[in-house]
A and B are shown apart, each in its own frame.
Chain A
Amino acid sequence: DADVTQTPRNRITKTGKRIMLECSQTKGHDRMYWYRQDPGLGLRLIYYSFDVKDINKGEISDGYSVSRQAQAKFSLSLESAIPNQTALYFCATSDRSDLGYEQYFGPGTRLTVT
């Protein structure tokens, strides 16, 4: 969905490196989310944000940090990447007016940590 974009789409990095994944949206939504997808585990919530000033941890936030630079931008950082952070990462948005019932996902970033 072009309304939610993620960069980069693919990234290979080495253990110990700092890496940032970026998400931008043109949907005008104020809720944004970061998930990781692993085979056999589904998608798990890393962080979510209600607005620029409100950021909350999800179920697997250890080893990750986020920054909400603007309503439309939400970045995920791995301060010191490790191999078990190899996964597919998705950003999503939802609209307060819908009570957030539908989440719109970006195309994903495939991250490999060697």
Chain B
Amino acid sequence: QQQVKQSPQSLIVQKGGISIINCAYENTAFDYFPWYQQFPGKGPALLIAIRPDVSEKKEGRFTISFNKSAKQFSLHIMDSQPGDSATYFCAASMGIQGAQKLVFGQGTRLTINP
């Protein structure tokens, strides 16, 4: 059972456009929602993260929107660039004795066309 559902599986956006990736979760005990970015041949790397006490977090061209009542959150990439082409994973976690057990979404392969 997938606790975090991510869509779409793949996305193609023109350079300069807005890329939007959506995630939904079931477990209300989750208290941390990160997005990871993965380039081919590399491990995932933290891109941006949000706690459930805020509805939006922005870092440069990347924004997380969080809707606690709907149990949904999304990643928006403004002014998308070819260098943003990568696989993106949303995740959710809860603290367990000081460790974070991340539950990942299925991933979205984003392609930005020049």
A positions within 8 Å CB-CB of B: 1, 4, 31, 33, 40-45, 48, 50, 58, 90, 92, 94, 96, 99-108
User: Contacts A50-B98, A107-B41, A107-B43 given: A101-B32 contact, CB under 8 Å?
Assistant: yes
User: Contacts A40-B9, A42-B107 given: A105-B98 contact, CB under 8 Å?
Assistant: no
Q: Is the CB of A103 within 8 A of B42?
A: no
Q: Is the CB of B104 within 8 A of A90?
A: no
Which size bracket describes the interface of B in this complex? Answer: 20 to 34
Output the least CB separation between A57 and chain B (Å). 11
Q: Which of A1, A40, A100 is in CB contact (< 8 Å) with B45?
A: A1
Output the least CB separation between B29 and chain A (Å). 15
Query: Is the contact region of chain B dominated by helix, strand, or loop, or is it mixed?
Result: strand
Specify the chain A residue showing the minimal Cβ separation from B98: A96
Output the least CB separation between B47 and chain A (Å). 11
Q: Is the CB of A105 within 8 A of B100?
A: no
Contacts of A31 in B (CB 8 A): 98-99
Query: In whole angstroms, what is the CA distance A30 to B104 when docked?
Result: 22
Specify the chain B residue showing the minimal Cβ separation from A107: B43
Output the least CB separation between A24 and chain B (Å). 14
For A41, A42, A58, the residue with the greatest tally of chain B CB atoms inside 10 Å of its CB is: A42
Contacts of B34 in A (CB 8 A): 101-102
